[in-house]
A = this chain, B = another copy of it.
Amino acid sequence: MKEKLYIIKIGGALIDDPELLDQFLEQFSEIKEKKILVHGGGKLATTLADKLGVEQKMINGRRITDKETLDIVAMVYAGGINKNIVAKLQQKKCKAIGFSGADANLIKAKKREHPEIDFGFVGDIEKESVNRKLISKLIKLKLVPVFSAITHDKKGNLFNTNADTIASVMAQALSSKYDVELLYCFDKEGVLENVEDPGSVIKKVSEEEFSVLKEAGKLHKGILPKLENALGAVKNNVNKVFLIKETQLKNHIESHHGGTEICL
């Protein structure tokens, strides 16, 4: 039987709220099984870019990561946020070790290719991008990897990569070795039938149901990429995938209570 491994993704809203983040990290540190944390960025990078007068470039409504923006996100994500999370986890006796994808070539990305748009320093990844051998070795040393969403191309360039995608792809890569449970933690109770009603959690969403919900316009924009990444994980042998509320992590681990399960 494969050993259990939790891969847990947290995002912007949580990172921007120190008290909530601390509460979450407390729950995270209490998980007894093997675990990996993947974190997004929050508003800090945008705030810093604004202060420095670095404009956000958009082409056809898509965000471009130019060199100046990359320099900022690399600093903020892999430096400021990542090291602060690691220090807080260390305080809670969790053996956290912070990484970008460049470190030990843990996640090697390719610059995004697009027929019309040059996205700049945006890196796309696939299952083979993940250095699962080394990640397994680090986990075996009882370390708890904490990943920022910065990757590299092994040609000396850093990239900005979607954190939801990193969590999904890492879960896929590690599923051959571990019994992976992938948890997307966010500020909602799960996928909601009615976004205004926290009680309207849909307990299970399959690929088919996802299409129906999407067609019906019932999914707000923010949740779409999360669900697509979650489905990608399920389709690629990740054993369990859930969307849960950040404050419910402990409840979920202990009783699988609440949240939305994503399934085939």
Contacts and interface: CB of A to CB of B under 8 A. Distances in A.
Nearest to A104: B97
A80 B79 contact: yes
Contacts of A134: 141
A interface majority secondary structure: helix
B71 A100 contact: no
Interface residues of A, number: 40
A87 B52 contact: no
Interface string A139-169: 0010100000010101111100000000000
Contacts of A141: 134, 137
Given A76-B79, A83-B150, A98-B102, 14 more contacts: A48-B52, A77-B79, A78-B79, A79-B80, A79-B83, A83-B100, A84-B158, A86-B102, A87-B152, A88-B156, A90-B156, A91-B154, A91-B155, A96-B103
10 contacts: A52-B52, A74-B83, A75-B80, A78-B78, A78-B83, A83-B103, A88-B156, A90-B156, A91-B156, A96-B104
